[in-house]
Structure 1
Amino acid sequence: MGWGTLMAYLFVPDMLVGRAAEFVQLANARLASLISAPEVKDSDRVFAFPLIDVLRAFAAISVVVYHVIEFFEWKSYPVTGFLLWFRIGWMGVDLFFVISGFVIGLSAFRRLDRRGPRQARAEFVRHRLARIVPLHYLTCLFFVAFITPAIMFSNGFWAQIVSHALFVHNLIPEHHRAINNVNWTLGVEMQFYLLIFIGVVWLRRAKPWLILALGLSITWIWRSVAFAHIPANDPVGVDALFMAVTQLPGMLDEFTFGLLLARIVVAPRGQRLLAAIAPYAWIVVAMAGLVVWAILTVFWMAPAYWTSWKMVVLFRTLIGVGAAACVLATITIRSRILLLLTAPVRYLGTISYGIYLWHLLVILSLHRVPGMTPQLALPVVLAMTFVLAAVSWHYFERPILRRYAHAVPK
């Protein structure tokens, strides 16, 4: 029964006779649906990790606040305490990549186990295209129309359109952050999907240590070569080095950590391990917190970033370790009370893709307002971004997913 039946019971007295027990059951069921993850089959419940959306929300908000601080040159923003995190909120992207490695790997491995390679790949492509492409195209359209309309009259406009449509804009210096600056990450993400499409069978069966060794080796070699050939002595050099080391080979370590967590979850031994440590989840959370604290301490103690080989080549691997620790801690928690308390935050995680793609349009629009201060801009940016993300999710993204993909969060 749905809300219509429930309202009928409330407002039609004749229907209330003898229905008290049924009404209680209905109310309890509705309450349970509100505080739990999207409904899943019993066979799938072991693979449901709704608190991952808390991490998604945190990552998205971290990026948003970081960009407000940077674009509005918020010099008085706190430099101590928890709020200091948002000065390095760009690390939210690294958290996103580890989460993506885990979630995409888990989905691909389970499809492979149930459907076989051919059908698994077909479903994977359909779902990923339906999830990523529409909002990317929509936000690019809005960005060009309302933020950078002059680009439509430039000589390279159609090349920009093609590169962004094909998700290769991150590979071209002139296109890297030309339309909706933050979507360079979508190029990296889509290229990771291509890697999964090609290598899912091997990634499902290979020894975890071999996957880790290859992921780290490729990443460290790529970053080392980039560091050796691109001097970062000025802003132009820093930008060029940033673009080089954030290509897929340079971020492969973070995706690899997520993939290995997915391998743990799909393995019977890994499932038994997670079940065994579930009663001690808060110890795992505390340990993850210590790992993150140690990594951030290393960052703040470093005298420089882009001119240090250790920082450019190795530090993002440490970020990946910290992010993986957070994901591991999150998937060990099985608390219905925590699900209830985090329901609003989990909703933000559900719409986090929209938060990420819409927020820069809002920031750049407000940046044009004379006298706009960062203190005033921040709450407005958050509110407007949340609204845009919610609207696009409910009336654009989710309908497309329902039509072209098998399942969608409610």
Structure 2
Amino acid sequence: MSTRAHATGTDGEQSVGSGEIRSLTGLRAVAAVWVVVYHFHFTPGLGYDGYWEPLRPVIRAGATGVDLFFVLSGFVITLTYLERVGRRPSVREAGTFLWARVCRIWPVYALVTVVYGGWLLVKATRVTDGVVAYQVQQPVLDVWHFLLQLTMVQLWWHPASGGESWMGSAWSISAEWLAYVAFPLVAVLLWRIRNAPLVLLGATAVLLMVPLGYTTYVHGGPVIAWSWLLRIGAAFLAGALTCLVVRRVRRTPRVEEAAAAWALASVGAIAVGLWWGDWRGIDNDHSAFGGIVVVFFPVLVGALALSRTGLSALLSRGPVVHGGRISFGLYLVHIPVFEVFWTLMDWWPRIAAGTSLWALLLAPVLLSTFVLAHLAHRFVEEPARQQLRRVVPARRPAETAAQLAPAQARVAVVRGDRPLTPATAALLAGRNAEVPPAQPAAPVPAQRTLSA
């Protein structure tokens, strides 16, 4: 099931609903590629030369793409679940929400964890220095830590993110799972402040990112104790507050034009911040002072959600949107692929750094992560999600449509896999005078919900 992202009123105005916002799905692709290229650049033999040199300001701050993911997650989770989880809190609604998140993220995560864990065990039998993963702090390979990985809680009681996850990138999955567990309580607060002044909500969303930006400004990255908690807490809440603003803004042509301009201005500010961070950075160091640009992420996400032209139109194109839909799998598989390649470079002299075969393999290795992500999405993520959702069926949005608050009653909720019948149209028209009662009888194309 899905809901349309925007409902059109009789005066031409529109409001944001709870369906897929294609520009934000496309932005997920950008964030994923940013992180992937950042990690790929650690491939032995590569440096800031040739094609990489002009991209150095962006690559150096590539880890910041994770913070963009967190802001997007806060926005999308709030957009999709605030009504059901925050309006009338209950154990049932909280459980249904958490199960929906498990269905979305756990199948691919579990598969990659098991396969990569097997690789680490094989590698442990061949190395003599105890280095089985490309991390400063080596992961512990035993049954207990395997269970921690599978349940996605491995990071929760550790001040540092390094070494607790078998896959270097899996720390963010554990952090985001904590945000999901806390969301039913956070949603209660969000519901009660949803009608606060828009300026206050928007300003607070940006201010929440300031501590993270300041930490990056001082240290060249979020390297303080419990920085992972700061990153997920600040970014997720900033995205949630941004959603509270966007869902109340009427999308008139003037608003869309202003939002498109703000989106471009945000990208410009991010570019300047990344250039400054590269200028301040230290050669041969992993410092990423450009990470201060996180303060612009809530503005960028909100502006893209409210616009259709310019940058939003570019991110809404089919290939980019598909990239966003496979971004979760891409984020999970790229580290295992890269680390296997790096290990084989050490074991097999024929593909050692600098050899001709090594040069030929660079592009295929990088591209293989996108192919694997597509396959994981097509044959694991989506089928497993559908199967698991049948175990605990979610309440249909149509069941709660009559309970929507007046401020949100303008959003039409329909079944994505059935025609909009005259009876349903009449019901929606009765609850929302701005939604045209006459709708085509053809099936409404199903839209995928943007997932975190």
Pair 1:144 & 2:117 matched: yes
Question: Secondary structure of the equivalent of 2:225?
Answer: helix
Aligned to 2:305: 331
Structure 2 CA distance for aligned equivalents of residues 84 and 372 of structure 1: 24
Instruction: Give, in angstroms, the shift of residue 211 of structure 1.
Output: 9.9
Equivalent residue in structure 1 for 2:94, among 121, 124, 141 = 121
Residues 100, 258 of structure 1: 8 Å contact kept: yes
- Confirm or deny: 8 A CA contact 2:207 2:295 kept in the other structure: no
Q: Which has the higher helix share?
A: 1
Say if 2:366 is the partner of 1:382. Answer: yes
Match of 1:101? 74
SS across alignment from 1:244: coil
Letter in 1 for 2:333: W
Partner of 1:162: 147
Change (3 A) 1:178 1:109: closer
The answer for unaligned runs of 5 or more in structure 2 is 8-14, 131-138, 346-350, 395-415, 417-446
Hey, what's the Cα distance between the residues in 1 that align with 2:3 and 2:140? Answer: 50
Cross-structure match for 2:183: 196
- Percent of counterpart pairs with the same letter? 23
Seen in structure 2, the aligned counterparts of structure 1 residues 155 and 89 have a Cα distance that, compared at 3 Å, is: closer
Instruction: Report if the CA contact (8 A) 2:209-2:235 is conserved.
Output: no
| Pairing 1:299–2:277 present | yes
- Mapped to 2, the partners of 1:70 and 1:54 lie a distance apart of 26
Q: 1:52 aligns with which of 5, 19, 24?
A: 24
Pairing 1:284–2:262 present:
yes
DSSP 3-state at the match of 1:242: coil
Q: In 1, Cα distance between the equivalents of 2:23 and 2:320? A: 9
Which one-letter code corresponds to 2:32 in the other structure? A
Q: Which residue of 1 aligns with 2:173?
A: 186
In 1, the alpha carbon distance for the partners of 2:179 and 2:73 equals: 9
Q: Answer yes or no: is the 8 Å Cα contact 2:208–2:235 preserved in 1.
A: no
Cα separation, partners in 2 of 1:402 and 1:111, compared to 1, 3 Å? same
What are the within-5 Å matches in structure 2 for residues 360-399 of structure 1?
A: 360-367=335-342, 368-369=344-345, 370-371=351-352, 376-399=360-383
Aligned to 1:253: 234
Please state how far the C-alpha of 1:57 moved relative to its aligned partner. Answer: 0.7
> 1:127 deviation in Å?
1.1
Following TM superposition, by how much is the alpha carbon of 1:189 offset from its aligned partner in structure 2, in angstroms? Answer: 0.5
SS at match of 2:166: coil
Deviation at 1:51, TM superposition (A): 1.2
Post-superposition Cα deviations, 1:13-32, rounded to whole Å, max 9, x if no partner, equal xxxxxxxxxxxxxxxxxxxx
Residue ranges of structure 1 left out of the alignment (5+ in a row): 1-37, 233-237
Which amino acid letter does the alignment assign opposite residue 110 of structure 1? E
Change (3 A) 1:339 1:302: closer
Q: 1:32 matched to which residue of 2?
A: none
Residues 56 and 352 in structure 1, CA contact (< 8 A), matched pair in contact too: yes
1:40 correspondence with 2:4? yes
CA gap of 1:402–1:187, structure 2 versus 1, over 3 A, is same
1:91 shift after superposition: 1.6
CA contact (8 A) 1:359 1:385 kept: yes
Count of paired positions? 354
Cα offset, 1:218, TM superposition: 10
Name the amino acid aligned to 1:389.
A
Aligned partner of 2:448 in structure 1 is 409
Q: In the alignment, what sits opposite 2:438?
A: none
CA RMSD of aligned residues (A): 4.1
TM-score, normalization: structure 1?
Answer: 0.72
What CA deviation, in whole Å up to 9, does each residue of 1:354-374 have, x standing for no partner? 000001111112221423557
Q: Distance in 2 between matches of 1:90 and 1:155?
A: 24
For 1:68 and 1:218, the matched residues in 2 are separated by 27
2:327 aligned residue (352, 370, 393): 352
Aligned-partner Cα distance in 1 for 2:340–2:51: 25
Match of 1:264 in 2: 245
Q: How far apart are the structure 2 equivalents of 1:155 and 1:352?
A: 28
Distance across 2 between alignment mates of 1:165 and 1:63: 23
- The structure-2 alpha-carbon separation of the partners of 1:242 and 1:175, relative to structure 1 and needing over 3 Å to count, comes to closer
Report which stretch shifted further, 72-81 or 356-365: 72-81
1:280 and 1:378 map into 2 onto residues whose CA distance is 42
Residue of structure 2 equivalent to 1:6? none
Q: 1:131 to 1:63 in 2, by over 3 A?
A: same
Alpha-carbon distance in structure 2 between the residues aligned to 1:274 and 1:112: 29
Q: Contact 1:56/1:96 (CA < 8 Å) preserved in 2?
A: yes
The separation in 2 between residues aligned to 1:320 and 1:394, in whole angstroms, is 32
In 2 relative to 1, CA 133–215 (structure 1 residues): closer, same or farther, beyond 3 Å?
farther
Q: Partners in 2 of 1:278 and 1:214 — Cα distance?
A: 20
Amino acid aligned to 2:241: L
Q: CA deviation at 1:378?
A: 4.1
Query: Is 1:135 the equivalent of 2:108?
Result: yes
Deviates more, 1:210-219 or 1:399-408: 210-219
Name the amino acid aligned to 2:366. L
